[in-house]
Structure 1
């Protein structure tokens, strides 16, 4: 087994890859919008685009996601969040998902997303 930490900072890594030989697990840390002044749909789109980009660095796609946790600052944003999620998540490849109302670290953030993906060995 080999554990690789990507974009490691003093408190957390943006993504951790666990290479099990025949498969790898990718753990993405909580992702927030670069532009927190966006509304919930804008923040969702920005975060999901970033997740796509991070997965691509490891040869993965959103079809490889196995688990996602979505943290919402306001549960009233649930329907708007789901409208963006439903456009993004591929039919037939929906991951296990939990959505939680939470006080986020910065009051401008409306949503934070944490994800895990499973992919084959390093090509």
Structure 2
């Protein structure tokens, strides 16, 4: 039976799960919720980089991304940073939608899956 590796687990979720060289990250949000959508997006992308590295992969190996914005009108500001961060190495399949957030101060949440 293949091994499933969970990191950063609590009673509700794991921050990441690895199975058969696929890495699934939980939705990632900013820590400093006083920032605007650009500031929060920068934080989230840095946290994704760190989480992928902790799992032995990087953003060039992304398979898909799901992005939730509190206000879809922030899509252009978020996309500007997304495109800069992503570069030309590996554009994932992606969805971006407006959503009510668990904490109304959260302006963006991003969840990605990658392979090793």
Normalising TM by the smaller chain, what interval? over 0.9
Question: How many equivalent residue pairs?
Answer: 115
Question: After superposition, where does 1:96-107 map in structure 2 within 5 Å?
Answer: 96-107=93-104
Q: Which runs of 4+ in 1 moved over 6 A?
A: none
Question: After superposition, where does 1:1-123 map in structure 2 within 5 Å?
Answer: 1-18=2-19, 20=20, 24-119=21-116
TM-score computed with the length of structure 1 as normaliser: 0.91
More strand by share: 1
Question: Unaligned 5+ residue runs, structure 2?
Answer: none
SS in 1 for 2:12: coil
Alpha-carbon offset, residue 58 of structure 1 = 1.9
Q: Deviations over 1:4-50 (max 9, x none)?
A: 110001100000011x2xxx110000100011110000000000000
Alpha-carbon offset, residue 57 of structure 1 = 1.0
Is the Cα contact below 8 Å between 1:62 and 1:90 reproduced in 2?
Answer: no
* Mapped partners of 2:77, 2:12: distance in 1: 31
Greater shift, 83-92 or 104-113, is seen at 83-92
* Mapped partners of 2:105, 2:89: distance in 1: 33
Alpha-carbon offset, residue 63 of structure 1 = 0.4
RMSD of aligned residue pairs (Cα, Å)? 0.7
Question: Unaligned 5+ residue runs, structure 1?
Answer: none
